[in-house]
Amino acid sequence: MIVKKFNIEPATKDIIPFLIEKIDNLTKPKGSLGRLEELAVQIGSIQKTLTPQLTNPQHIIFGGDHGITAEGISYSPPEVTPQMVFNFVEGGAGINFLARQHNIKMKVVDSGINYDFENLDVLIDRKIRKGTRNYLYESAMTAEELNRCIEHGAQVVRDCRTDGTNIISFGEMGIGNTSSSSMWMSALTGISLEKCVGAGSGFDSEGVKRKYTILQHAMDNYTGDGSVADIMKYFGGYEMVMAVGAMLQAAELKMVILIDGFIMTNCILSASKLYPEVLDYCIFGHQGDEAGHKLVIDYLNAKPLLYFGLRLGEGTGALCAYPLVDSAVRMINEMSTFKHAKVTKYFE
């Protein structure tokens, strides 16, 4: 069903012993910088070098509306999606201050928002349709729309690569997309839907129960072939599928990918079901408070860097983790060796 093919190579493993040797000869006890050392090894293996670099980091937000919101599965009303897009481009959202703080360039993409944006040149227009269809009754998108989303997401990343970017992160804006993520998660992992459904943007326990009941009806109504592409097509959002295409393209281009919260973790879950090698390029920024996030992280055998109780989305967890990634690269490049610093190596 997915037409576009990606050529994703596993990260280079034969350089790992040399990276470890370099790190072990820096002026510190072996292993004493913990996860920073692991990150440096991972990034060095992605870039095939003993001196990895982070250049022109960019963050992409994909926005789209979801037809399933007609069933009352979200605490927030659908009009919040375009309202938040205006907030992004005006610089007033949570993700904006983090992007400014860490000098990360931001791009916002209209993947399928139910709104006509006029004279908003800073918004990248890749609108497929004004929101997906209601998957309680039918597939959220067509196969043709799925393929357009994959290609659009990939093109945005290729444009970033042209700008010299080698580390990238992704966020989303789309009321209802925690529901779609829960559907992907359950269908692709076998974890019960009830464990995958959480509060989203603010439901109480009764709201979560109603949300689960509606989503379970939608799952029961599904009559597709159960393939990864069909699950993505039937239950996904345009912004989510574009993120999948973007992640796969980033891995093909050997870029470091910072993964955000529940929604982006389910996007990389879907991407990894298509191309398992994509996970070699991923650094998981944080584990959030959405009910199913820990479960899907554990399923992927991922090790998130932060546990901050974040649940905003937008990519905030990925950007909060960026300084740690930067520190890992600075460690391997800027620390002296025992020989160079004329310090006695005080361990074997």
**Catalytic residue ranges:** 314
**Cβ contact 121:89 at 8 Å:** no
Distance between CA atoms of 176 and 75, rounded to whole angstroms?
Answer: 9
**Cβ contact 8:251 at 8 Å:** yes
Residue 150, Cβ density class (10 Å: 0-12 exposed, 13-18 middle, ≥19 buried): buried
**What are the angstrom distances between the C-alpha of 173 and each of 223, 240, 256?**
28, 9, 22
> Residue 142 half-sphere exposure, CB side, CA atoms within 13 Å?
5
Q: What angle do CA 142, 276, 243 make, to 5 degrees?
A: 45
Structure tokens at 128: 């497929």
Strands of 123-125's sheet in order across: 123-125, 105-112, 58-64, 167-173, 256-259, 282-284
Closest CA to 294 of 279, 311, 316, 318: 311
Structure tokens at 181: 């993520």
Going by C-beta distance under 8 Å and a sequence separation of 6 or more, which residues neighbour residue 34? Answer: none
